[in-house]
Chains A and B, each alone.
Chain A
């Protein structure tokens, strides 16, 4: 008979019995929690693991399977997701590890009950914004009019000067708008995690805000962005990319070191 290992996905405070989970995912009640895991082949995840890790397609599949399971659990209660790749020899070993931190899990579940994570990226199309600023910002608009009236030679230098000024005004505008949006988001939740942005321009523009938020479960963040953020920048070249809801990945407390040995 093929030997099995146990891959741990999440702890769950189930409000109702989880159903329709991905193939092979089991939920077992123990120590007052529902523990989501699946049996995996020892040959694949144990003996040949180093070989498997060289196969990026395999790793990708496992990572997506991990998140698919977490997503499937979300409608059934508060989910504490584990990091990718936690594997145990048998149920007793897994249970003992959970039991060793019983109070910690209870506190985490209480803290995160009825809350979900969302992510928001705000991209700015700088080409459209530059054009908009040159047509509407007083100083740039005046320069545009002067360029139109000038001779070719003078217009060339004025245009060069205007390009530099536009960049400066653009950066200022982006900073102001990002702060404006952030202020509004901070009214919605104090649990905000700001991620890195970049001056680099991607396919969808320049990333000016990259945020993860923890929100109450009854908040429809898609709708909130549409209704609350859109009016703030209604005539600007901004794209709001919203994804979620997710389990509270970014808002988990680290497991106490003393128990993590």
Chain B
């Protein structure tokens, strides 16, 4: 039987979701004089995820090699 050769795709620009995941969910938490709505970040993050769920590859293409 002929064996199928399946595709392998290894390079992709990071999605906006991934960027949000980094900057809003991680990073050193230092208390500034003002903090952008810390208590609402989770909610904002969820709303943003809905808003941008279909948006991909908007980030600087130089980040990843093609």
Q: Which of A's residues lie within 8 Å of B, judged by CB?
A: 5, 8, 45-46, 49-50, 53, 56, 59-60, 62-64, 66-68, 70-71, 80-89, 93-94, 97, 108, 119, 125, 128, 131-132, 135-136, 222, 225-226, 230, 234-244, 246, 249-250, 252, 254-255, 260-261
Q: Is the CB of A89 within 8 A of B10?
A: no
Q: Is the CB of B22 within 8 A of A246?
A: yes
Chain B contributes a number of interface residues (CB within 8 A of A) equal to 46
B48: A residues at CB distance < 8 A: 56, 59-60, 63
**Which residues 18-38 in B have Cβ within 8 Å of A in the complex?**
18-20, 22-24, 26-38
Bound-state Cα–Cα, A251 to B32, Å:
21
B38: A residues at CB distance < 8 A: 85
Q: Is the CB of B26 within 8 A of A252?
A: yes
Q: Is the CB of A56 within 8 A of B51?
A: yes
A238-B6, A243-B14 known; A81-B28 Cβ under 8 A: yes
How far apart are A130's CB and chain B's nearest CB, in angstroms?
Answer: 12
- Chain A residue at smallest Cβ distance from B51: A56
Q: Which of B's residues lie within 8 Å of A, judged by CB?
A: 1, 3-14, 16, 18-20, 22-24, 26-38, 40-41, 44, 47-48, 51-52, 58-60, 63-65
- Chain A residue at smallest Cβ distance from B52: A60
Q: Is the CB of B52 within 8 A of A239?
A: no
- Chain A residue at smallest Cβ distance from B44: A59
Bound-state Cα–Cα, A241 to B8, Å:
9
A236: B residues at CB distance < 8 A: 6
Q: Is the CB of B35 within 8 A of A261?
A: no
12 pairs from A and B in contact (CB 8 Å cutoff): A45-B34, A67-B23, A83-B28, A84-B23, A85-B32, A87-B33, A97-B31, A136-B3, A222-B11, A238-B8, A239-B8, A254-B29
